[in-house]
Structure 1
Amino acid sequence: MLAPDGGAHAPLGEVGTLGDERLGDCYRTCREIVRFHSKTFYLSSLFLSAEKKRAVWAVYAFCRTADDIIDRIAPARERLDAIDAWERQLVAAYNGITTDPIFAAFADSAQRFNIPIEPGLDLLRGARMDVTIRRYDTYDELREYCYLVASTVGLLVMPILGTMTPEAAAYGIALGRAMQMTNILRDVGEDARMDRIYLPAEDLQRFGCSESAILEEVIDERFTALMAFEIDRVRKMYAEAEPGIAMLSPESRYTVRLALSLYRRILERIEANDFDVFRRRAYVPFRAKMLTALTVAFAR
């Protein structure tokens, strides 16, 4: 992870004065972050034009580094201070000044594609919630969290993908929520080991699944019924988001449809693993990803 205060990097100065070579290095830094942290996102991005591809890498690197800041092992106050510093760098980058390769690339992309700053600020507000909130009572509360940490990513990339109308934004928001909920279901065990339970308390109560059972990694008929319910909910969210793909620029549609399809397959992997999200990580194997990529291509 890059230092959130930018201290590990030589000053870059004004974004607009960077040469092509140095700016290219900044984008390559972002690309490596994407390749390391999300093979699914990286694969989907490869079908965009060079300029759009670099821009979505920059957005991902900004969002991912914020997530890394929050998830590192450190006192809460230290992590919140680091997010505050990351936010100050975001604002400075939008004003043309940065000391960090990620922000240099992000600011350049924001200028090229007219990316608004507000979703980025909202995303950092959601990141702070991961420090201060470890349980959600209702799905409505979780839904708002998913908007802040994931739908905002959609709002950041939509100008890159060719649209930012209110109607299209609503579909992007739905897709972001679906992807975040997919991550939550995949990472139930990992989160529980950090004493985080994102599954709403009202859903646990509905299926008679206790919080202690999740922390103890118990898989029984109550837990599997809960997970089946949540998976069905997320599948409906993907179906709700899918019509918005047609509103994107033609060259961007395949990338988003592929990302949606690959993420949706994670739900299938959870089911194939008999809902064991504690000891088996649900992921789409490379061969299955390639088959999905071909299937999506021929379905267009």
Structure 2
Amino acid sequence: MQDEASTQQQIADAYEAVAASTKAASSNFYYAFITLPPDKRNAVYAGYSFCRLADDIVDDGEYGDKTGEALDSLQAHLSAAYDGNFSTNGDSLEITEATPDLWRALGDTLHKYPIDQQHLIDVVEGCRMDLDGTTYETWDQLVEYCKRVASATGLALIEVFGYEDERAVEYAVDLGIALQLTNILRDITEDLSIGRVYLPSEELAEYGVTVDDLRNKNVTPEYLRFMKFQVARARKYLESGVRLFPLLDKQSRQCPETMTQVYEMLLDRIEKNNFDTLNHRASLSKFQKFKLLSVIWLRSRGLRFV
């Protein structure tokens, strides 16, 4: 039997591994997460790594026609993790054997924080919606997708951040919709290349935009009007989502503030590119990200960035 010191070292090593994978996978989120206190930061790395794994299973194509089974396996192991059981016996896809650090870190996180299992299940089910290509007829259908892949992640995160006012749940949902919609607007071309059109077909038709316009990167006046509407919609959800911040534990507020300001800057970049996300992908430089983080850090200490 392992002694306590050995077990704790394994857990510490596991958290270092999920931190490294988070940094490699998403610098935007990594810079936000490092504003958290160490224990909460580690928990967020573990939760994010799980969500990222679900996304990678669908997007990377490693499992081919067994991708659905891989998601089933991931979900089954999540249930086992909540029960404190990490056995991979009988699992031909060996999801947990491929990511031992993730499961060790996630198991420790679930022991420390009251994360509702349904939130993480919703993330897996949201990723499952991407399996056979993606089209959405209505905005309501797209909202359901956004809630699963993004808002559910946010709902899991606020359990780590800490809150008492139940309005935090509503605002976290809206913040997730805003962030996911911004991603969709930024990544139209990349998504088309893998057979996905997240933009609601009813709204595309209403504005006179065709999928061929998107595929051919044809920036028509109709497309620009459509994009202006969508950017305004994303900002509206952001405005609702920021009401979350005062309801969170003080030590945790900088993290979602940083994430939100990054996405506000992405929307600004889309506007500066004249709403042409087909030919110009909105992104921020490392300098912009570090400058933003510095501003938030200084403000948290009552200082001004000049």
Aligned position for 2:17: 29
Contact 1:47 1:255 (8 Å CA) reproduced = yes
What CA distance in whole angstroms lies between the structure 2 residues aligned with 1:133 and 1:242? 32
Aligned position for 1:121: 121
Aligned position for 2:59: 71
1:214-268, Cα deviation, whole Å (9 max, x unpaired): 1222222221221111011000100011111100000111121111111121111
Kindly report which structure 2 residues correspond to 1:26-175, keeping only aligned pairs within 5 A, or say none.
Answer: 26-73=14-61, 77-98=65-86, 99=96, 100-132=100-132, 134-163=134-163, 165-175=165-175
**Which ranges of structure 2 fall in alignment gaps of 5 or more residues?**
87-95, 301-306
Shift of 1:295: 3.7
What CA distance in whole angstroms lies between the structure 1 residues aligned with 2:122 and 2:5? 29
What CA distance in whole angstroms lies between the structure 1 residues aligned with 2:6 and 2:85? 11
Aligned position for 2:218: 218
Q: Sequence identity, in percent?
A: 31
The amino acid across from 2:266 in the alignment is: I
Shift of 1:291: 2.9
Aligned position for 1:260: 260
Shift of 1:298: 5.4
What CA distance in whole angstroms lies between the structure 1 residues aligned with 2:143 and 2:164? 22
What CA distance in whole angstroms lies between the structure 2 residues aligned with 1:21 and 1:264? 39
Shift of 1:31: 0.7
TM-score with structure 1 setting the length: 0.90
Contact 1:195 1:215 (8 Å CA) reproduced = no
Aligned position for 2:179: 179
Q: Taking structure 1 as reference, are residues 59 and 132 closer, same or farther at Cα in structure 2, changes over 3 Å only? A: same
What CA distance in whole angstroms lies between the structure 2 residues aligned with 1:92 and 1:195? 34
- Structure 1 range deviating more: 68-77 or 36-45: 68-77
Aligned position for 2:93: none
Aligned position for 1:206: 206
What CA distance in whole angstroms lies between the structure 1 residues aligned with 2:266 and 2:213? 23
What CA distance in whole angstroms lies between the structure 2 residues aligned with 1:184 and 1:61? 21
Shift of 1:24: 1.3
Instruction: Say which SS state the counterpart of residue 280 (structure 2) adopts.
Output: coil
What CA distance in whole angstroms lies between the structure 1 residues aligned with 2:68 and 2:287? 40
Instruction: Say which SS state the counterpart of residue 97 (structure 1) adopts.
Output: coil
Contact 1:227 1:275 (8 Å CA) reproduced = yes
What CA distance in whole angstroms lies between the structure 2 residues aligned with 1:17 and 1:114? 25
What CA distance in whole angstroms lies between the structure 2 residues aligned with 1:74 and 1:123? 19
The amino acid across from 1:258 in the alignment is: T
Q: Taking structure 1 as reference, are residues 18 and 198 closer, same or farther at Cα in structure 2, changes over 3 Å only? A: farther
Aligned position for 1:5: none
What CA distance in whole angstroms lies between the structure 1 residues aligned with 2:163 and 2:108? 19
The amino acid across from 1:84 in the alignment is: D
Kindly report which structure 2 residues correspond to 1:183-202, keeping only aligned pairs within 5 A, or say none.
Answer: 183-202=183-202
- Structure 1 range deviating more: 287-296 or 256-265: 287-296
Instruction: Say which SS state the counterpart of residue 66 (structure 2) adopts.
Output: helix
Q: Taking structure 1 as reference, are residues 249 and 221 closer, same or farther at Cα in structure 2, changes over 3 Å only? A: same
The amino acid across from 2:293 in the alignment is: A
Instruction: Say which SS state the counterpart of residue 130 (structure 2) adopts.
Output: helix
**Which ranges of structure 1 fall in alignment gaps of 5 or more residues?**
1-12
Shift of 1:111: 1.2
TM-score with structure 2 setting the length: 0.88
What CA distance in whole angstroms lies between the structure 2 residues aligned with 1:89 and 1:73? 20
Shift of 1:103: 1.8
1:113-146, Cα deviation, whole Å (9 max, x unpaired): 1111110111111111011451000000000100
Contact 1:190 1:278 (8 Å CA) reproduced = no
What CA distance in whole angstroms lies between the structure 2 residues aligned with 1:83 and 1:41? 24
The amino acid across from 2:274 in the alignment is: D
Alignment: residue pair count: 287
| CA RMSD, 1 decimal | 2.1
